[in-house]
Amino acid sequence: MANADCIILMGGNMAEAHPVGFQWVSEALAKGAKMIHVDPRFTRTSAVATKHVSIRAGSDVVFLGGLINHMISNELYFHDYVVAFTNAATLVSEDFRDTEDLGGLFSGFDPETGKYDPSTWAYADPAGGTVTGPSGEEHGASASARAAGHEYGSGGPPLEHASVLRDETLQHPRTVFQVLKRHFSRYTPEMVRDMCGISIDDFEYVARTIAESSGRERTTCFGYATGWTQHTLGAQFIRTAAVLQLLMGNVGRPGSGIMALRGHASIQGSTDIPTLFNLLPGYLPMPSVGRHDSYREYVDSIGSKQQKGYWAYAETYVVNLLKAWWGEAATAENDWAYDYLPRLSGAHGTYQTTADMRDGKVEGYFVLGQNPAVGSANGRQQRLAMAQLKWLVVRDLNMIESATWWKDGPEIESGELRTEDIATEVFFMPAATHVEKAGSFTQTQRMLQWRHQAVQPPGQAQSELDFFHELGVRIRARLAGSTDPRDRPLLDLTWDYPPDAHGNPDPEAVLAEINGYVVDDRAPLSAYTEMKADGTTAGGCWIYTGVYADGRNQAARRVPQGGGGVTQSEWGWVWPADRRILYNRASADRDGKPWSERKAYMSWDDAQGRWVGPDNVDFPVDKHPHARPDPSLGGAEGLAGDDPFVMQADGKGWLYTPKGLVDGPLPAHYEAAESPVRNALYAQQQAPARVLLARSDNMEAPSAGEPGADVYPYVFTTYRLTEHHTAGGMSRWSPYLAELQPEMFCEVSPELAAERGLVNGGWATIVSPRAAIEARVLVTDRIRSLTINGREVQQVGLPYHWGVGSDAVVTGDAANDLLGVMMDPNTQIQESKVASCDVIAGRRPRGADLQRLVASYQQRAGTTPETGTRAVTDPEKEGF
């Protein structure tokens, strides 16, 4: 970021949520870069920005789409980069129909399932027909349920092969470029003004600044946080930025890219090595019934050997994982024990699981360093669900609300639950802090950093590593001698880790297994390219191979400032292969020369016959830039010298996604699931493929145009403060932090305060179709009322760190109780950055009156579980 000429921060508040990371933005500013903050609120990020642009929450695709349109219509995009390195020139299937042709939907929508059949979005095949996935097309209903979008955490979706039709003049009407141009033509500055509340002047300023800060000599970088992800079209928010960045040549170069500013110490790590239902380590999918019944079906669907790049070797990564887990029991004859893996049969995300829990289908629940009673959307549903469990294990440092809801939760106070009636057994297990155990975190730029252990955990506290290892040992002991085939995966599991001085498993030994090794002599692998698919190597997470190269813990490297070089490469270890900038072959032009001296990074050295520069090149190191191998060779051999996107099946950056997204090959703006604003772009109001959980404990507010919408007339959004951390489990118990931010509050504009009689420092009650909470009022012009489609729209800002309990230093009502669960179909992530509410002056009712208030609003609005669940707004316009 420090090397960028322009930084656009959207969907986040970096100065307050990532304060120390923000020093690199400050550094860029000091070097003369510009920084623009586009956000509903004026925050401390805005205060030091070159410019703050106030935007209506949830309208980001309109704004970014407007920028795309501007760059294309005024020919401001980076032509040479776009032609060479993106799929702009690639031809799309004749059968594809855009939102322009239909009433706002893409071709292939299936009203039956509410999801798309994406087969018409494919590339045209030179041999006729389309380029499908390696095992045909997967219907969106299936891909969405297994949150398949998550699999692209380390590379793009698979294609059956990489032979495509290209027109590098970009003139053919079916080139991606022409499709893109037409698709975004309605995203005009006037549309941005009407839908986002951004003036034409401000829009033009941003467009000019990005255009001036992109191209050969300059680069622009984007940073985002959950203000982009937590929407029913969150993945498409990020896609819109990616399209813009590719058009402007801002990927794979110094000071370019899109930075995900993630919120937890190792949230990146817990996606790479996923404690997630839909993934196995290294972004391999969890097998799904009907789709992955056999080993062959499974490996063929992940990557085709005829596609380009490193996903062509997916089978190798699978074999190494299975071999690492099941050792000698994994053989070529039994398909490496593939059948030991359990199968998915739909969505099993945290919210579907909560609903199942509430319905009594889940017996036991482990809650590990997370506080769903406060931190998950629709907190009441979460707590009522936990009350249906047989047993609950909470492992934390502090006595969080998720461990105590049975005695001091909001439902106890309201009388909905009675402690004596709750049959749930609760185990609270004290955890070890970060200094009481050794291990690695993966931070937001994919860097693994090792923490050394400073002291032993106190009392009965224990690390997750020690607890789960011990639990595994005891479970296996209980099953010893079992002849039941279902117990084989547990009994054959490799579970012997050498003990440390205290008898606990050595975390470095676990890291060494993750890294991978030669089976015969346990020699550590240095790179994932050393992995074999014949069972002679094993490794738990292929993208992490190299972190234990040479038998040294590379994540523990701590040369001050990372050593002398610009990449600071002697500090920690970055996946994959310790590359600091991904896709860095794109930092040089088609001929392998730097785009400019100013932005030089990696380049081709003819004399040495290899790529050189300060980083590890993200490309076959000796492949000449003019190499044009037969694409059907597949894998690294199939990559041309100008295919920098080595994890994409065709080697190109995707402006258009022929495969992989379940809600459209291009981003299109739809309103949030709950919105008081009508979609002016299309007849279609909401994201058609969004995932709903229609239940009486998860009601939705009517949207604009529906009766009752005016009962919840305001838009609310949720966010973090510097002084607290997520649901407060690590911060509301800290006397220092609790003193700095003691009380839950809401931010409202002076206009809203006047409308509702709210007084600064007084109380307000915020009501949604799920809950009512109270908060102190902060009247401020940091949050502005916006003119949308000629109408004033008021926004309410709510930090979400407080919860109701009795153990923390500070408690308060939880903003997340207000949220409903409506999700992005690619990722199954809930929409928490925009929803509808009402605000009234004064404190909320106590006892049973609280639910009465919520119910009276529901009645007035006429909400039922069906409200807001229609997929297609106007079936006639879509031709259904």
Partner 1 sequence: MAAWSPLEWPVLRQVLTGDRTGRGAAVQSARTRQIESRNATADRVVQSVCPFCAVGCGQKVYVKDDKVVQIEGDPDSPISRGRLCPKGSSSEQLVNNPLRQTKIRYRAPHATEWTDLDRDTAIDMIADRFLAARRHGWQDHDEHGRPLRRTMGIASLGGATLDNEENYLIKKLFTAAGAIQIENQARI
Interaction residues for partner 1, span 278-317 (CB under 8 A): 280-281, 286, 289-290, 293
Let me know: does 524 contact 515? Beta carbons within 8 Å: yes
CA–CA gap between residue 189 and residue 206 (Å, rounded): 11
Residue 468 contacts partner 1 per CB under 8 A: yes
The HSE-up count of residue 191 (CA atoms within 13 Å, CB side) is 22
Tokens of 110: 């299936």
User: Total residues contacting partner 1 (rule CB under 8 A)?
Assistant: 161
Shortest Å, Cβ 259 to partner 1: 11
Of the residues 23, 163, 529, 851, which one makes contact with partner 1 according to CB under 8 A: 23
Please identify, using beta-carbon distances, which residue of 632 and 722 lies nearer to ligand SF4: 722
Residue 762 site contact among ligand SF4, partner 1, none (CB < 5 to 8 Å, cut-off depends on kind): none
Other residues' Cβ atoms within 10 Å of the Cβ of residue 841: 14
Binding mask 68-107 for partner 1 (x = CB under 8 A): ----------------------------------------
Name which of residues 774 to 833 contact partner 1 (CB under 8 A): 807-809, 827-830, 832
Cα dihedral across residues 77, 82, 87, 90: positive or negative: positive
Of the residues 46, 245, 381, 442, which one makes contact with partner 1 according to CB under 8 A: 442
Shortest Å, Cβ 282 to partner 1: 11
Q: Which stretch binds partner 1 (CB under 8 A): 18-26, 41-49, 77-85, 100-108?
A: 18-26
Place of tokens 């009675």: 418
Instruction: Work out whether strand 258-260 and strand 220-224 pair parallel, antiparallel, or are unpaired.
Output: parallel
Shortest Å, Cβ 722 to ligand SF4: 8
Query: Which residues are within 8 A (CB) of 38 and not within 5 positions of it... i.e. 6 or more apart?
Result: 8, 9, 10, 52, 53, 55, 60, 63, 206
Which strand (E) or helix (H) includes residue 52? strand 51-54
Shortest Å, Cβ 16 to partner 1: 9
The HSE-up count of residue 560 (CA atoms within 13 Å, CB side) is 0
Residue 632 contacts partner 1 per CB under 8 A: no
Residue 463 contacts partner 1 per CB under 8 A: yes
Length of the chain: 880
SS (H, E, C) 80-107: HHHHHHEHHHEEECCCCCCCCCCCCCCC
Residue 154 site contact among ligand SF4, partner 1, none (CB < 5 to 8 Å, cut-off depends on kind): none
Please identify, using beta-carbon distances, which residue of 261 and 374 lies nearer to ligand SF4: 261
Please identify, using beta-carbon distances, which residue of 271 and 722 lies nearer to ligand SF4: 722
Binding mask 182-221 for partner 1 (x = CB under 8 A): ----------------------------------------
DSSP string, 706-752: STTGGGS-EEEEEE--TT--TTSTTTTT-HHHHHHS-S-EEEE-HHH
Name which of residues 572 to 631 contact partner 1 (CB under 8 A): none
Tokens of 725: 């951390």
* Rounded alpha-carbon distances, angstroms, from residue 841 to 114, 548, 583, 763, 778: 40, 59, 53, 6, 12
Name which of residues 321 to 360 contact partner 1 (CB under 8 A): 325, 339-345, 348-350, 353, 356-357
CA–CA gap between residue 871 and residue 172 (Å, rounded): 34
Residue 451 site contact among partner 1, ligand SF4, none (CB < 5 to 8 Å, cut-off depends on kind): partner 1
Residue 568 contacts partner 1 per CB under 8 A: yes
Let me know: does 766 contact 811? Beta carbons within 8 Å: no
Please identify, using beta-carbon distances, which residue of 358 and 844 lies nearer to partner 1: 358
Secondary structure (3-state) at 225: coil
Please identify, using beta-carbon distances, which residue of 169 and 345 lies nearer to partner 1: 345
- Which residues are near ligand SF4 by CB under 6 A? 18-20
Shortest Å, Cβ 17 to ligand SF4: 8
Please identify, using beta-carbon distances, which residue of 423 and 435 lies nearer to ligand SF4: 435
Shortest Å, Cβ 560 to ligand SF4: 18
Shortest Å, Cβ 556 to ligand SF4: 18
Residue 467 contacts partner 1 per CB under 8 A: yes
Residue 414 contacts partner 1 per CB under 8 A: no
Residue 269 contacts partner 1 per CB under 8 A: yes
Angle at the Cα of 336 (from 335 to 342), degrees rounded to 5? 90
Of the residues 657, 731, 765, 858, which one makes contact with partner 1 according to CB under 8 A: 731
Please identify, using beta-carbon distances, which residue of 18 and 784 lies nearer to ligand SF4: 18
Please identify, using beta-carbon distances, which residue of 435 and 473 lies nearer to ligand SF4: 435
Shortest Å, Cβ 719 to ligand SF4: 15
Of the residues 5, 396, 643, 700, which one makes contact with partner 1 according to CB under 8 A: 396
Of the residues 377, 777, 783, 796, which one makes contact with partner 1 according to CB under 8 A: 377
Residue 444 contacts partner 1 per CB under 8 A: yes
Please identify, using beta-carbon distances, which residue of 266 and 288 lies nearer to ligand SF4: 266
Tokens of 420: 């004596």
Please identify, using beta-carbon distances, which residue of 367 and 704 lies nearer to partner 1: 367
Let me know: does 476 contact 495? Beta carbons within 8 Å: yes
Shortest Å, Cβ 2 to partner 1: 11
Residue 18 contacts partner 1 per CB under 8 A: yes
Identify how many contiguous H helices and E strands the chain contains and give both numbers. 26, 31
Shortest Å, Cβ 833 to ligand SF4: 21
Please identify, using beta-carbon distances, which residue of 541 and 677 lies nearer to partner 1: 541
Binding mask 508-547 for partner 1 (x = CB under 8 A): --xx-xx-------------------------xx--x---
H helical segments located in 219-366: 226-229, 234-247, 269-272, 295-302, 314-326, 350-358
Please identify, using beta-carbon distances, which residue of 317 and 800 lies nearer to ligand SF4: 800
How many Å is the maximal CA-CA distance in the chain? Answer: 80
Secondary structure (3-state) at 604: strand
Let me know: does 817 contact 378? Beta carbons within 8 Å: yes
Cα dihedral across residues 297, 298, 299, 304: positive or negative: positive
Cis peptide before 189 (omega within 30 of 0): no
Shortest Å, Cβ 19 to ligand SF4: 5
Shortest Å, Cβ 603 to partner 1: 24
Q: Which stretch binds partner 1 (CB under 8 A): 240-248, 257-265, 604-612, 757-765?
A: 257-265
Shortest Å, Cβ 823 to partner 1: 9
CA–CA gap between residue 322 and residue 516 (Å, rounded): 12
CA–CA gap between residue 425 and residue 278 (Å, rounded): 28
* Rounded alpha-carbon distances, angstroms, from residue 221 to 436, 485, 590: 37, 53, 22
Shortest Å, Cβ 814 to partner 1: 14
Shortest Å, Cβ 485 to partner 1: 9
Residue 775 site contact among ligand SF4, partner 1, none (CB < 5 to 8 Å, cut-off depends on kind): none
- Among residues 683, 751, 668, the alpha carbon closest in space to that of 713 is found at 751
Residue 725 contacts partner 1 per CB under 8 A: yes
Residue 733 site contact among partner 1, ligand SF4, none (CB < 5 to 8 Å, cut-off depends on kind): partner 1
CA–CA gap between residue 821 and residue 650 (Å, rounded): 36
Residue 869 contacts partner 1 per CB under 8 A: no
Place of tokens 């493929």: 689
Residue type, 246: L
